[in-house]
Amino acid sequence: MRDPIFEPITINTLNIKNRIYLPAMHLGMAQEFEVTDQIIHFYAQRAKGKPGMICAGYATVDELSGNTQNIGAHDDKFIPGLQKLSKAIKDNGSFSVLQLNHAGRYNFSFFLNGKQPVAPSPIASRMTKETPKEMTMDEIKATINAFAQAAVRVKKSGFDAVEILSGTGYLISEFLSPLTNQRSDNYGGSFENRMRFGLEIVTAVRDAVGKEFPLIVRMNGNDFMPGGNSRLELQAYAKALSNNLVDALCINVGWHEARVPQIVASVPRGTFAYLARGIKEIVSVPVIASHRINDPKTARQLLDDGMCDMVAMGRSLIADPMLPEKTRLGKENEIMHCIACAQGCFDNLFKLNHVECLCNPLAGYEGTEPVQKVASLKKILVAGAGPAGMTAALTAHSRGHNVIIYESRTRPGGQLYLAAAPPGRQEFAQLARDLETQVTLQKIPIILKTKLTDDLIKKEAPDTVIVATGATPLIPPIPGIELPHVVNAWDVLQNNVATGKKVAIIGGGAVGVETALFLAEKGTLSAEAVKFLLVNKAQTPETLFEMATQGTKQIILIEMLDKIGKDIGKSTKWGMMQDLGRYKVETMTASKVITITPKGLNIEQTDGIHEIAADTIVIAAGSVSNNPLESVLEKMGVEYRVAGDAKQIATAFEAVHQGYKVGLEI
């Protein structure tokens, strides 16, 4: 049966065996610009999954273009490391590409030993809060040449192709956009002039590497920056690039400063492929679609529908390096999907840590010792089938142990299904299903609706017990909390309770924010309804926007601390805060609830005590560890380990990684 994913495609001289392209991703794994063994192991593992092409990077073109955690291509001394990287990718079954980029004003003087970042014009970046130095004409020419010389190093290092990053708000984007380019010379003013820098870079690279060396440009289909480049302007830029200059275009989306979510779970799968389609229809070179293509079904549909010629699957292959091979072999059900949580990838980079993954605890650690079979097999009971429990069970089983999981609920997955309840968070349920699938494939028994008790432990006589019993909602000692109109957030998210029109939520952390957004959607138009009404011109777009964001409840979110969402990761927090405003959720910080009354609640602020009317009070004050077994096991003298929330309240990322570590320890 025909599968468009595995139809070959030609880019210049390369005959590529499938349509999967792993795009460049900053990994934070280089040291002083040098390719490390960690990088080589990371990409070698992805190449074993056999995507058609793997693009590493980005790589620097001069000393102002990146930081020491980027791969260096701005000096010949980096060629030996680059050669090892290209060889590792090719030896394991994929074509190798290296991306070149210059960060421009997105660089930090902190990374440049105090030197000022450069840009077309001295306009401060909202991301870095720094004002860059305006590039002189000599500096522009030197940068163009630097790209060309770096491309020569890419070719000398054995890569099969080179990619130029011409998007995301980096230097070439900055020249293209009127927001950041206010020059009055030949590189500013008209769009033709603003394209000049990017086109001259690509021309110089083409001249340097020759006509038969594949050259790809990754560019924006839309900047999503008000007052910036329009989609039509970027299509014109794509057409200029495809005019005997490049061999393929990889279509990116948005700047880092853009207020449109691009990589998080709230972005529907494959949404931005329309930008690739708009460019594919006007150019004659292959076009690669990007962003939130995390499963073969989406990839297959985009290719079949003519939206693109290849699909970029980056974080998808962080989560499961073997995704292409599993797809080819008809084992799509075995894929561990990226759930776009950003907890291990983007959030780690903000902390200056290397990339990891919630769904794949081996990501970033590919060069470590492989899981070893144990000499002495043990019988292990796991209490709890949440992310920590299932990961621990899978890891212990992979070492040869005999594992049985006990789960008190009716299905595995634990709090992942709670996390999946708010709008735009449904992907967390995918992780629950994927872990359950892995457990089933390994034939690890899950005994549902059964709590692991001391009597059961005595009966089963295990060698070790893994305690992963999760958490329970924290119920703060507030007078009136026992009143009938008081409910907890977990019950709300599971639709176990009804809520009135006026809802007050106590607790402005992650659970409180998620509960507020969950309730705010009540009464809004569905995506299907919006499309129907829009296509039939039943309402204006402005009315549809209002009806899609204004529900039937009035919600107030109350937090003791001075900020809402302090425990939410940086990659997702800004979008959730934006949604609170968009859905008109009222927020109150530095506000302590002192009593709950039949008509609402009383809060204490710096200016005194205030009464708030509410039909329903939702408690979202956090969680407490649920660990009734530890003391029992201590008394029984049974060896045990504790993981996940049962050990300490933490994120899903930490639960999975703790479960993996515990599974290795036994």
Write out pLDDT tens, residues 419-445.
999 989 999 999 999 999 999 999 999
Q: What percent of the chain has pLDDT over 70?
A: 100
* Structure confidence at residue 83 (pLDDT): 98
Residue 637 has pLDDT above 80, yes or no: yes
Q: Name the least confident of 8-22, 85-99, 359-373, 478-492.
A: 359-373
Residue 323 has pLDDT above 80, yes or no: yes
* Structure confidence at residue 101 (pLDDT): 98
Mean pLDDT of 150-172: 97
Structural contact between residues 383 and 465, judged by C-beta atoms closer than 8 angstroms: yes
What are the tens digits of pLDDT across the range 366-386? 988 888 899 999 999 999 999
The contacts of residue 38 (CB under 8 Å, 6+ apart) are 29, 354, 364, 366, 367
Report the predicted TM-score, pTM, of the whole model to 2 decimal places. Answer: 0.95
Structural contact between residues 397 and 437, judged by C-beta atoms closer than 8 angstroms: no
Distances (CA, A) of 643 to 348, 359, 415, 490: 21, 16, 14, 21
390/381 Cα distance (integer angstroms):
11
* Structure confidence at residue 1 (pLDDT): 72
Q: Name the least confident of 85-99, 532-546, 564-578.
A: 564-578
Tell me the average pLDDT of the chain. Answer: 96
Residue 227 has pLDDT above 90, yes or no: yes
354/26 Cα distance (integer angstroms):
9
State the chain's maximal CA–CA distance in angstroms: 83
pLDDT interval class at 354 (50, 70, 90) = very high
What are the tens digits of pLDDT across the range 79-133? 999 999 999 999 999 999 999 999 999 999 888 888 999 999 999 988 889 999 9
Amino acid type, 4: P
Burial of 321 (0-12, 13-18, 19+ CB in 10 A): buried
Q: Please say whether the dihedral angle defined by the alpha carbons of residues 258, 262, 265 and 269, taken in this order, is positive or negative.
A: positive
Question: CA 49, 50, 54 angle in degrees (round to 5)?
Answer: 105
What are the tens digits of pLDDT across the range 381-420? 999 999 999 999 999 999 999 999 999 999 999 999 999 9
Structural contact between residues 219 and 237, judged by C-beta atoms closer than 8 angstroms: yes
Of the candidates 366, 362, 318, the residue with the CA atom closest to the CA atom of residue 339:
318
pLDDT interval class at 350 (50, 70, 90) = confident
DSSP 69: T
pLDDT interval class at 349 (50, 70, 90) = confident
Question: Domains in the chain, ordered, with CATH?
Answer: 4-350 (3.20.20.70), 379-472+624-665 (3.40.50.720), 475-621 (3.50.50.60)
* Structure confidence at residue 126 (pLDDT): 85
234/279 Cα distance (integer angstroms):
9
Amino acid type, 542: E
* Structure confidence at residue 413 (pLDDT): 97
Residue 447 has pLDDT above 80, yes or no: yes
E strand or H helix at 586, and its extent? strand 586-588
Mean pLDDT of 210-223: 97
Q: Cβ atoms within 10 A of the Cβ of 373, count?
A: 10
Reduce the secondary structure of 351-409 to three states and give it as a string: CCCCCCCCCCCCCCCCCCCCCCCCCCCCEEEEECCCHHHHHHHHHHHHCCCEEEEECCC
